[in-house]
Structure 1
Amino acid sequence: MVSLIEELEAREAAARVRVEELEAEIAELTARLDGEREAWSRLRVTRETVAEVLVGLSGQVVAETVPLQEPVKPEVRVVGAIMVPHWREGPTADVLPDVYRDIVQVVADASGPMQAKQIVPRIGLPAVSGKIEGTRGKLKRLVERGWLVEGQPGRFTPARWGPGGESVNSRNDKGSSL
């Protein structure tokens, strides 16, 4: 007959073996996970770098030829170049990323020039300085790409296009408002 102490020692030894096996399995999975994270990081950086280079070559060509893929997991957000194509005759604001499209629509629906602080709540963001500054940057990008006009500093209106694709508002524009 086995004593109680011997039985407990046997169970303890078996538990120790299971723990060591699980620890070894965890170490192996951790090493595999680290390798996959490294590969993912390299691919993400490569994609972002290529997108930046292509944007530098020609923003319009990139928007037409290099669509960015959505992340596989919706809860994982990959930061990369957001393509805001230059305005050209034909396409509507539907070609813009969601937040830019919302901004253009809010400005287009307004009765007069709008400021970033007026636009932020209308696109569903809290009216805090960080969101206002981020929206101001997007407004400036839309001006740079020809979707909006900044007639007065900080006041944005839709770019109205006349015959031949020339901005009607550009006659009053004293240059780029970057």
Structure 2
Amino acid sequence: MASLPEELQAREAAARVRVEELQAEAAKLAVRLEKAREDLSRLEVTRETVAQVLAELSAAKVEPDGLTQDAPEPKEASAPHGIGVMMVPPWREGLVAQVLPDAYRDIVEIVADAPGPLQAKQIVPRIGLPTTTGKIEGTRGKLKRLVERGWLDEDAPGRFTLARHGPGTDRANSQ
């Protein structure tokens, strides 16, 4: 029979393993949630665009003499929460990384703390994901989106750094 300290130590080790398993599962779910949010956002924007085009087409009526009358200017309707929302806003003066979704904010912070350019495969383990091809490619997609929105620079293919903003910076993206 094991002593009480040995039993407590064994239970602590088992609890630690369970916590690590749950953290890994939570990281996987966070990635899936982010993808689902992006898919939802794209679908909402598409639906709004189609509705607007259809409304404009139905507003342009043909008059009896064969001429069309101008369609009225579309009115801006208040949209339910989240519709048309951009998950990663373009960088602008005064905007901080805290406005980004968690996964993107973690990436920006890791790149900001790095002494030099990083590749996606170097970032994946630092954000707590397994270094599988799928996770690396998903992270690379996020890195590219951050470059498109001005948060990061890609000085060489696949090598990402924090974007340089302000006068006198020599950004390839800004020309």
State which of 117, 121, 124 in structure 2 corresponds to 1:120: 124
Larger radius of gyration: 1
Secondary structure, counterpart of 1:113 in structure 2: coil
The residue that corresponds to 2:145 in the other structure is 141
Relative contact order higher in (CA < 8 Å, ≥ 6 apart): 2
Letter in 2 for 1:132: I
Q: Which runs of 5+ in 1 are unaligned?
A: 1-44, 56-64, 70-79
State which of 79, 89, 94 in structure 2 corresponds to 1:90: 94
Query: Residues 51, 126 of structure 1: CA spacing in aligned structure 2 closer, same or farther, 3 A cutoff?
Result: same
State the 1:51 CA deviation: 3.3
The residue that corresponds to 2:162 in the other structure is 158
Secondary structure, counterpart of 2:95 in structure 1: coil
State the 1:147 CA deviation: 0.2
With normalisation by structure 1, the TM-score equals: 0.52
Q: Are the counterparts in 2 of residues 82 and 97 from structure 1 also a CA contact under 8 Å?
A: no
Identity %, equivalent residues: 60
The residue that corresponds to 2:43 in the other structure is 49
Two-structure CA RMSD over aligned residues (Å)? 3.3
Secondary structure, counterpart of 1:119 in structure 2: helix
Higher helix share: 1
CA distance in 2, matches of 1:129, 1:103: 17
The superposition leaves residues 25-67 of structure 1 with CA deviations (integer Å, 9 ceiling, x where unpaired) of xxxxxxxxxxxxxxxxxxxx99753335779xxxxxxxxx985
1:30-109 to 2 correspondence within 5 Å? 49-52=43-46, 68=82, 83-109=87-113
Query: Residues 141, 52 of structure 1: CA spacing in aligned structure 2 closer, same or farther, 3 A cutoff?
Result: farther
CA distance in 1, matches of 2:40, 2:143: 28
State the 1:109 CA deviation: 0.2
Q: Which runs of 5+ in 2 are unaligned?
A: 1-38, 50-78
With normalisation by structure 2, the TM-score equals: 0.53
Query: Residues 153, 66 of structure 1: CA spacing in aligned structure 2 closer, same or farther, 3 A cutoff?
Result: farther
- Number of residue pairs matched by the alignment: 108
Q: Are the counterparts in 1 of residues 41 and 85 from structure 2 also a CA contact under 8 Å?
A: no
Query: Residues 156, 46 of structure 1: CA spacing in aligned structure 2 closer, same or farther, 3 A cutoff?
Result: closer
